[in-house]
Each structure stands twice: as C-alpha cells, then as structure tokens.
C-alpha cells in the first residue's frame, strides 16, 4: 500500500485527513514580519485572520521549498513506504516544482523508492475534492500506478469556479491590472473566475451583483454534476458564511439531498482573494477546456 500526502492548500478539515490517514505539508503566510504556518488552524485563529484581511491587511505568502519537501517525503521513503503526493496547482505556485526536485534528489539516494507527484492543477477545495477522490480510490484497492493513471485521465474533469467580493486582492496578487480593479470596484463588478487546464486563474465573465454571482456558482455546480448526483460537492469561503450558505441552499433547491460540505479557505489562498471569496468544486463528465 502507499501513503497519501497532500498540503495545507487542499482546504479539507484536518479531521478528514486524519480519519483517512492522509499526511500534509504546510505552506506559510506572513503578516507584519510574523510567520504563520498554515497548519489547518492548529497554531492560529482563522477567524482573526479573516478580520485582518477584511480590514485591508495585505499578507504575503511563501511556497514550500525543496528542503521542506525533501524532509517530508524522506520520512516515508526511508521506511520503504511508497508515496503519492496530491498537491497544489503548479500553475499557481512554484511549490509543485519544488516537490518534483525533492523527488529527484531522493531518488539519487533511494533509487528504488516509489514517489508519485500528482499536480492537481487545482486549488483550495478543488485540490481537496481530488484528495477525496484519491482517498476513495485507495480504499477501493486501486494501486499506485493505477491511481496516477486515473489522475492523468480524470483530473481535468474537476470543475472549479469562484467569485470575490473585493478586487483589491486579485490586483495585489498580480491577477488583474490596477485599472481593472479600480473600474470593477466602481461598477460593483463581481467577477466569475475558474481555473484553466494549465492550472491558472482566468476570468470567465463579469457579473453586476453579488447575489447573481452566487446563484451563478450554484447553477454551474448543478449543471456539471448531472451524471453523478451523489458525489461530494465542496464549497469554500474566506469568511463569508452567509454567502456560502446561499450557494448551498440554491444547489439543494435544485438537487435535494446533495452531498455538500462547506469549508474555510486557508490563509494562503485567502491572502490572494481577500475576504468574502466563495468557490465551488465538483466533478463533471467533460474535461474543462
């Protein structure tokens, strides 16, 4: 058997990871020179962090470096345990490249080690949704090679959309221009975004009201899930629980009994979306293009 690994950007509850024997490596966030470890809230209060970004604080984030991945993987490699790291999109962070480098370094000393690095091309609950698939497949007895093959064939079936309530943080993170952020704020534009096949953010459309943007998220989920109405649906938010509930309620109105979990967005991604981001994640029948 193999050990499933992920990182803190999956935005799944820590209890879910522990209950399914999934280990995670942590990203870091910095505010006013203080390093905060994104350890699923064990060493920080996420609600306090949301209040800070709601007040306009602009944190900085750092990717996991090669040395951290090396030590993380080495624990299992030395024990002779095969590993599958299901990680944060390489299109959004250089951490995936660091993971690959750590793998190559370990194989120099442990040439027989089995180390699978899986770029989910996803973020937040999207990465988490694919971690849930990895858990499901492992429990079904799928071996490591077949797990990797499944991801190669199916990970782009993940549909992921989100909207933000404040364009400032997307500008600060280099995702949009200052002019777009200023104009969008003046016009009260609520953008609909997704993640493209390369794992990078892209704009889909501009929506004029917050409520309409939330209903659009829900409708996207309902359309995508028609071939698998029993699957888990993941909603994540950076602190706007009422908005997330609007999305959840609208989905349930269309698909009674839908299996929905609502999770907080961790510090790293919240640092780039600002307070009030709401995102939805579901597996569709077609690959995103």
Domain coordinates of the chain in residue numbers?
2-156, 157-283
Q: Which residue shows structure tokens 């309530």?
A: 165
Helix (H, G, I), strand (E, B) or coil at 86: strand
pLDDT score at 189? 77
Largest CA distance in the chain: 58
Question: Which structure tokens are listed for 285?
Answer: 């029948």
d(CA 98, CA 188): 39
Low-confidence ranges of the chain (pLDDT < 70): 171-187
Query: Between β-strands 232-237 and 23-25, what pairing exists: parallel, antiparallel or unpaired?
Result: unpaired
- Residue range 133-160, pLDDT digits in tens: 999 999 999 999 999 999 999 999 999 9
Q: Count of CB atoms within 10 A of residue 157's CB?
A: 16
The domain made up of 2-156 has a fold known as Rossmann fold (3.40.50)
pLDDT score at 5? 98
The domain made up of 157-283 has a fold known as Hypothetical Protein Tm841; Chain: A;domain 3 (3.30.1180)
Number of H helices, E strands in the chain: 11, 13
* 174-201 per-residue burial string, b: 16 or more CB within 10 A, e: under 16: ebbeeebbeebeeeebbbbbbbeeebeb
Give bridge partners of residue 5 from the DSSP assignment: 23, 85
d(CA 169, CA 175): 9
Q: Of 216, 215, 219, 232, nearest to 283 (Cα)?
A: 232
pLDDT score at 266? 96
pLDDT score at 35? 93
d(CA 193, CA 266): 18
Give every CB contact of residue 136 below 8 A, 6+ residues apart in sequence: none
How far is C-alpha 90 from the geometric centre of its chain's CA atoms? 12
pLDDT score at 3? 98
Query: Is the entire prediction scored with pTM above 0.85?
Result: yes
d(CA 115, CA 76): 10
For residue 254, give Cα distances in angstroms to 98, 241, 248, 257. Answer: 42, 20, 10, 9
User: Which ranges of the chain would DSSP assign to H, the alpha helix?
Assistant: 14-19, 46-54, 66-78, 95-109, 125-139, 144-154, 168-172, 178-186, 210-224, 241-254, 267-273
Helix (H, G, I), strand (E, B) or coil at 155: helix
- Total number of residues shown for the chain: 289
pLDDT score at 229? 95
- Residue range 169-221, pLDDT digits in tens: 776 666 566 655 555 565 577 889 999 999 998 888 889 899 999 999 999 99
């Amino acid at each position: 058997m193999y050990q499933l690994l992920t990182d803190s950007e999956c935005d799944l509850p820590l209890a879910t990871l522990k209950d399914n024997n999934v280990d995670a490596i942590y990203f870091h966030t910095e505010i006013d020179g203080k390093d905060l470890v994104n350890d699923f809230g064990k060493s920080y209060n996420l609600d306090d962090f949301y209040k800070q970004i709601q007040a306009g604080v602009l944190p900085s984030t750092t990717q996991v470096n090669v040395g951290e991945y090396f030590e993380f993987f080495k624990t299992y490699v030395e024990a002779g345990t095969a590993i599958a790291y299901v990680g944060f999109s390489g299109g959004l962070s250089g951490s995936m490249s660091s993971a690959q480098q750590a793998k190559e370094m370990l194989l120099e000393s442990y040439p027989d080690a089995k180390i699978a690095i899986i770029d989910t091309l996803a973020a937040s609950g999207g990465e988490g949704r694919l971690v849930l698939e990895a858990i499901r497949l492992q429990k079904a007895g799928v071996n490591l090679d077949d797990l990797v093959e499944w991801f190669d064939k199916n990970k782009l079936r993940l549909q992921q959309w989100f909207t933000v309530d404040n364009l400032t943080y997307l500008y600060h993170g280099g995702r949009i221009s200052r002019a777009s952020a200023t104009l969008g704020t003046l016009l009260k534009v609520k953008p609909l975004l997704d993640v493209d096949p390369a794992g990078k953010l892209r704009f889909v459309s501009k929506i004029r009201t917050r409520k309409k943007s939330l209903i659009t998220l829900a409708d996207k989920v309902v359309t995508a899930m028609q071939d698998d109405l029993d699957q888990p649906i993941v909603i994540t938010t950076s602190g706007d629980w009422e908005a997330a509930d609007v999305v959840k309620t609208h989905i349930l109105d269309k698909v009674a009994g839908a299996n929905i979990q609502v999770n907080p967005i961790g510090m790293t991604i919240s640092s780039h979306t600002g307070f009030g981001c709401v995102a939805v994640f579901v597996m569709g029948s077609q690959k995103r293009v």
